[in-house]
Amino acid sequence: MPPWALRLSTFFAFVRHFNASLSCFLLCQFSLPKPVNPLTSVLYIATALSSLSCISLFLGDKDGSKVTTVVATPGQGPDRPQEVSYTDTKVIGNGSFGVVYQAKLCDSGELVAIKKVLQDKRFKNRELQIMRKLDHCNIVRLRYFFYSSGDKKDEVYLNLVLDYVPETVYRVARHYSRAKQTLPMVYVKLYMYQLFRSLAYIHSFGICHRDIKPQNLLLDPETAVLKLCDFGSAKQLVRGEPNVSYICSRYYRAPELIFGATDYTSSIDVWSAGCVLAELLLGQPIFPGDSGVDQLVEIIKVLGTPTREQIREMNPNYTEFKFPQIKAHPWTKVRPSVGLQTSYDLCQHLTLYVIGVQVFRPRTPPEAIALCSRLLEYTPTARLTPLEACAHSFFDELRDPNVKLPNGREKPSLFNFTTQELSSNPSLASILIPAHARSQAAASTPTNTSATTG
C-alpha cells in the first residue's frame, strides 16, 4: 500500500458506519497503484472541513444517493457529540424560518425530519433551548442537533433532527372536507385530547407555543398518535416581561393579541386550540379573517361585541374605544337548516351571529359545542386550562376501555400522565386516569415520574 494511504486512518473513521459497497470502493482505490491519487480532492476537502461538524460524501450506495455524516449532539441528556449518518435527503417544507428535509438514518433506517434554520451567532436559539427540555409522547422529539456552514461567509445554520411523522391534522381534515365527508367524531376527540395533553405539559414549564394551528399538529394516520411540532415561535413567558403581540397565525390568533396585548398568558394557546376544535367540527375555519382588523370582525360576528370589562381583561388601553354593537344570536336561535330549530341548553352563553345558515352540523354533540364555548372566551382567565379541557365530558368516550380506532387498532396511550403534567391541578387525576388504567398501573412496575399507564 502506498505511504500516502497511511495518512487516511482518521478519514476512515468517518466512513465506518457506511455500507460495504462504499468501503470496498475506497479500499480498492487505495490498494491499486496509480500515478495520481484519485481521492486527493476528497481528502483535501475532508481536511479543510475537519473543524466543522459536517462532512458530506457523494460516494453513496449503489443507487447513487448521497450519504452525509455529521457530528451531532443528542437532543436530550448530556452533551456527548457522536457521528450520525443519513441519506435519501429531500425537501418536504420551507418558509421564512428555513427548510425542512426528510432523511433516512443509515444505522437504523428510520426516517427523520431535519429542520435547517439560520443561526444568529449573537443569540442562543430559543427553539433549541425549549426542545431540549421537552420529553412527551405528544410532542415531536428532538433526536439530535448539529451546525453547518452556509454559502455566505460566516453563515451558520442550526439543524434540528426530529421524529418524522407523515401527516398533519390540516391535511387529514382537508381530505375529508374535499370529499364532502365529516371527520369521524372519535378522531376529533383523539386529536384534540392529545393536543390538550401536549399543551398541559409545555404550560407546566411556563412555555407557550404561540402558533397552534392544524399545520403544526403531526399525525400518524395508522395509530392516531398526534405530536405537536414547530416551536419556532414558542417562548417561556415570565410575568411582568413584555412579549410581542404580532404572533400566531391569523385564523387562530387570540383576541387579546389582536388588541395588541403584550402581557398575555399561555391561554392564547387555549384560544387557538378552540379554533382548531371548531374547525374540525365545521369543516372550515371558524374565524376566517382577511386581515388583523377583519379577524376581530369575524370573532365579534360569532361571539358578539365584547363588554367593556372583557376588553379591559384583554387590553386595558382599549376600554374607551367605540366598537360597533353586534347583537349575537344565542345557540337556541341558530337555524341549522331551513325550517328547523335546534336547541343546545348546555352552551346558551356561547352566541353566534348567523342569519339562516348552518353553523355546526345538526348532529354535532352538545358536549363538543359546550367545550368550544369554554375555550373561545374573550376573557383569558375564563378559558379552561388544557388539563381541565382533557377532563371535559366531551372526551369521556376515550376513557371507555372498549373503544377502539375505526381501523380496529387500539387507542394510543392516553392516560400515562406524569406528575409534571398533573402539576397544575392534581385533583383532576381521578377523572383523567380511569379505573381500568389505574388497575393496569397497579399491576405493572410503577415509575417515579408516571402517574399511570394506558
Pairing assessment for the beta strands 67-74 and 82-95 based on DSSP bridges: antiparallel
Q: Give the residue numbers marked as catalytic.
A: 211
Cell numbers 491499486 label which residue? 32
On whether both 307 and 367 belong to a single domain, the answer is: yes
On whether both 97 and 114 belong to a single domain, the answer is: yes
> What is the per-residue pLDDT across 257-267, written as a single tens digit (0 to 9) for each?
999 999 999 99
> What is the per-residue pLDDT across 231-258, written as a single tens digit (0 to 9) for each?
999 999 999 999 999 999 999 999 999 9
Flag whether pLDDT at 381 surpasses 80: yes
Number of folded domains that form the chain? 4
**Whole domain around residue 122: which residue ranges?**
71-163
Flag whether pLDDT at 335 surpasses 50: no
Interatomic CA distance for residues 265 and 255, integer angstroms: 12
Cell numbers 433551548 label which residue? 129
CATH, residue 357: 1.10.510.10
Alpha helices by DSSP H, 179-285: 185-204, 255-258, 267-282
> What is the per-residue pLDDT across 100-124, written as a single tens digit (0 to 9) for each?
999 999 999 999 999 999 998 788 8
Length of the chain: 454
Interatomic CA distance for residues 73 and 67, integer angstroms: 19
Q: Quick check: is 408 in a domain?
A: no
Q: What is the pLDDT of residue 445?
A: 52
On whether both 229 and 287 belong to a single domain, the answer is: yes
Question: 415 near 433, Cβ under 8 Å?
Answer: yes
On whether both 86 and 225 belong to a single domain, the answer is: no
> What is the per-residue pLDDT across 11-25, written as a single tens digit (0 to 9) for each?
443 344 334 333 333
CATH, residue 123: 3.30.200.20
Flag whether pLDDT at 311 surpasses 70: yes
> What is the per-residue pLDDT across 26-80, written as a single tens digit (0 to 9) for each?
333 444 344 444 333 433 333 333 334 444 444 444 444 799 999 999 999 889 9
On whether both 96 and 13 belong to a single domain, the answer is: no
Q: Which three cell numbers stand for residue 210?
A: 404561540
pTM of the full structure? 0.80
**Average pLDDT of the chain?**
81
Q: What is the pLDDT of residue 439?
A: 79
Q: What is the pLDDT of residue 454?
A: 60
Q: What is the pLDDT of residue 71?
A: 96
Q: Which three cell numbers stand for residue 262?
A: 403584550
Q: Quick check: is 92 in a domain?
A: yes
Enumerate the β-bridge partners of residue 228. 139, 217
Domain boundary among 147, 163, 179: 163
Domain boundary among 118, 133, 163: 163
Q: What is the pLDDT of residue 238?
A: 96
On whether both 184 and 301 belong to a single domain, the answer is: yes
| DSSP secondary structure code for residue 450 in this structure | B
Q: Is 116 annotated as a binding residue?
A: yes
Question: 348 near 162, Cβ under 8 Å?
Answer: no
On whether both 235 and 157 belong to a single domain, the answer is: no
* Number of other CB atoms surrounding residue 204 within 10 Å: 18
Lowest mean pLDDT among 239-253, 364-378, 440-454: 440-454
Lowest mean pLDDT among 98-102, 133-137, 277-281, 358-362: 358-362
Interatomic CA distance for residues 424 and 387, integer angstroms: 8
Q: What is the pLDDT of residue 41?
A: 40
